[in-house]
Structure 1
Amino acid sequence: MVYTVLTIGYKIYLSKSDGSIYYPDYATHLVANQTENLLDSIGYDSQVLPHDNEPSMKIIINGKFVARVIEGCNALSIIILFLSFVIAFADNFKTTFLYCLAGSIIIYAFNLIRIVILSAGLYHYPWRREILHTVIFPLVIYGTVFLLWMFWVNRFSKKKRANA
């Protein structure tokens, strides 16, 4: 039920995002700008620009287009999945709320780091695009979510205490 409600809310958010202020939507725009700031802070000359032909943001490093940030890169759907699982195994409100908040921040931060490393990797090793984008970096983000879930179930879940 939680997953359905959050997913519908997210779909409504996306349908209301017309890109007139933040392109393509606020969350994706924010992730792209934060990626640019992180890349700049580690010594890259980066730039993020709206894509001309699709609803995404282009990541440019030293004048070279290396990647694009699309709606799926903003981590919100992964956070929705994470929250739905944690709430399904919820204990008390305070613990659940704090874990949901902390886990969402961790996932968001790992996602940003993932995009930064992916962008730098694509700049230096463009021939590794397929393995970087389809294997290694999904493993990082989904592995993080899995570890957070396992920690939740083994440490805080009411289901664990009921079986103990």
Structure 2
Amino acid sequence: MKELLLQYKPFLLFLGKFIASYLILTLIYQSYLNHYKVRDFDVDPFTQAVAEQSVTVLSWFDSDSYTMPHLKEPSVKIIYKGKYISRIIEGCNAISVMILFIAFVIAFTGKFKNTMLFILFGIILIHLLNICRIALLCVGLYHLPQYEHLMHGVIFPLVIYGVVFLLWIIWVNKYSLYAEKTA
């Protein structure tokens, strides 16, 4: 048994760090969300900011873009070209994707400074991609509503998760301690 644990020690350490960091970050995020009352249709400030920033990008296409609170659920409506085109819920803010990204980077340990800078860069990139994703999705839904499932359920998640996967590959191969050992 001891030999087995020693043989799989790197994997078990990776798994332990990943699960621990993922759970801690998820609990922190859940604690943050618990401050907002779903039954009163409260929207957390980060989700609100994502909606507002997405509308800023949309305004580059059409100045008649704005947000408004949804009166029947905890979300923010996006109005594009005078039409209610989308709603932004908590799940649209990409924090869950950021948590997954951070947990993986932490699990594949690197030097502290590199780790912090890469996490910061990754979070900013994911956030910017998400805002562009929402804006482009709104434009797409306005012009091609029949492709909603394809755009929302396939193309845009593929892009965002694809970029996160590429960031992970870059992290593991260039900046993690694993990269230093194999160099």
TM-score, scaled relative to structure 2: 0.84
Taking the TM superposition and a 5 Å limit, the aligned residue runs for 1:1-164 are: 1-18=20-37, 23-164=42-183
Q: Which runs of 5+ in 2 are unaligned?
A: 1-19
4+ long deviations beyond 4 Å: none
Distance 1:44 1:156 in 2: 42
State, as a whole percentage, how many aligned pairs show the same letter: 48
Q: Deviations over 1:12-63 (max 9, x none)?
A: 00001248xx941011000001111111123342121111111111111122
Cα distance, 1:160 vs structure 2? 2.8
| Greater Rg by CA | 2
Q: Deviations over 1:67-100 (max 9, x none)?
A: 1111011111110100000011121110100000
Assess if the C-alpha contact under 8 Å between 2:62 and 2:81 holds in 1. no
Assess if the C-alpha contact under 8 Å between 1:107 and 1:141 holds in 2. yes
> Pairwise CA RMSD of aligned residues?
1.5
Assess if the C-alpha contact under 8 Å between 1:17 and 1:26 holds in 2. no
Distance 2:45 2:53 in 1: 12
- Give the partner amino acid of 1:53: K
- Give the partner amino acid of 1:33: E
SS at 1:127 equivalent: helix
Distance 1:151 1:163 in 2: 14
SS at 1:49 equivalent: strand
Aligned residues: 162
Q: Which runs of 5+ in 1 are unaligned?
A: none
Cα distance, 1:140 vs structure 2? 1.1
Q: Deviations over 1:90-115 (max 9, x none)?
A: 21110100000001000000000000
